[in-house]
Amino acid sequence: MKSVLVVDDHDLIRLGICRMLTEVDGITVTAQASSGEEAIEKVREVQPDIVFMDIRMPGIGGLEATHRILSHYPDTKVIVVSAFNDDVHPVALLKAGASAYITKNANSAEVKTALEKVLSGGVYISPELAQMMAMNGIKPASDNSPLGCLSQRELQIAALITSGNRAKDVAETLNISPKTINTYKYRIYEKLGVTNDVELTLAAVKYGLVDPSEVI
């Protein structure tokens, strides 16, 4: 029996995933979490075999949580379940060590397929995303998106800033200095060709880094 931790800040989605997993033989949900920080704590407590991880959550979010979990528990399998259906996020999460990336419209059959692939040592990406990535030559982002030039850390900081967090808040969340955050921020500005946080936010919405409804 493989143990699972389900991480999502939306109760209905988290509980929906848990219910879906009850239909899968050999799988049991042993814990739930609603933030990246809580996910790290739950992994430390129960050491699950598999983590179903959301990306956009309060605090450090799923990208940083995945990185931290796998740096300490490399045998843990992380399956990302996200509303983002671009090719930027899958590559960033796979680089962080995730074993699978599925969208939140995945049905139970696809969830089972992802689990089987991951437990056999493989990597699974939702078919529509895999096709998009193949068409773009498996690049970090499509040719139409400048986000592919951002590093994993820059992508995360851009997402936090465009969600309304000040440099000080981002620094506290990621446990690095505000000066370092500002260095990253202006490097992001330069790479994306923007000059302020408003332009950065517009670019983030345009290229799918953040949901428009979440922009403050």
Q: Which of 70, 101, 135 is the last residue in one of the domains?
A: 135
Highest mean pLDDT among 55-69, 142-156, 192-206: 55-69
Q: Could you tell me the CATH number of the domain that includes residue 84? A: 3.40.50.2300
Residue 30 lies in a domain: yes
Could you tell me if 34 and 53 lie in one domain? yes
Q: Which domain holds residue 118?
A: 2-135
Could you tell me if 122 and 190 lie in one domain? no
Could you tell me if 121 and 56 lie in one domain? yes
pLDDT, tens digit, for every residue of 38-66? 999 999 999 999 999 998 888 888 888 99
Q: Which of 135, 154, 178 is the last residue in one of the domains?
A: 135
Please compute the mean of the pLDDT values over residues 4-22 and round it to a whole number.
94
Instruction: Give the least confident one: 9-18, 71-80, 124-133.
Output: 124-133
Residue 141 lies in a domain: no
Please compute the mean of the pLDDT values over residues 88-103 and round it to a whole number.
81
Predicted confidence (pLDDT) at residue 139 exceeds the cutoff of 60: no
Could you tell me if 153 and 174 lie in one domain? yes
d(CA 171, CA 141): 26
Could you tell me if 49 and 82 lie in one domain? yes
In which band, very low, low, confident or very high, does the pLDDT at 77 lie, cut at 50, 70 and 90? very high
Predicted confidence (pLDDT) at residue 138 exceeds the cutoff of 80: no
Spatial strand order in the sheet of 27-33: 27-33, 2-7, 50-53, 77-82, 100-103, 124-125
Could you tell me if 131 and 153 lie in one domain? no
Could you tell me if 76 and 128 lie in one domain? yes
Instruction: Pick the more confident residue, 112 or 173.
Output: 112
Residue 189 lies in a domain: yes
pLDDT at 164: 72
Contact between 31 and 45 (Cβ < 8 Å): yes
Q: Could you tell me the CATH number of the domain that includes residue 206? A: 1.10.10.10
- How many domains does the chain contain in total? 2
Could you tell me if 47 and 118 lie in one domain? yes
pLDDT at 205: 72
Highest mean pLDDT among 40-49, 58-67, 89-98, 152-161: 40-49
Residue 128 lies in a domain: yes
In which band, very low, low, confident or very high, does the pLDDT at 144 lie, cut at 50, 70 and 90? low
Predicted confidence (pLDDT) at residue 15 exceeds the cutoff of 80: yes
Residue 140 lies in a domain: no
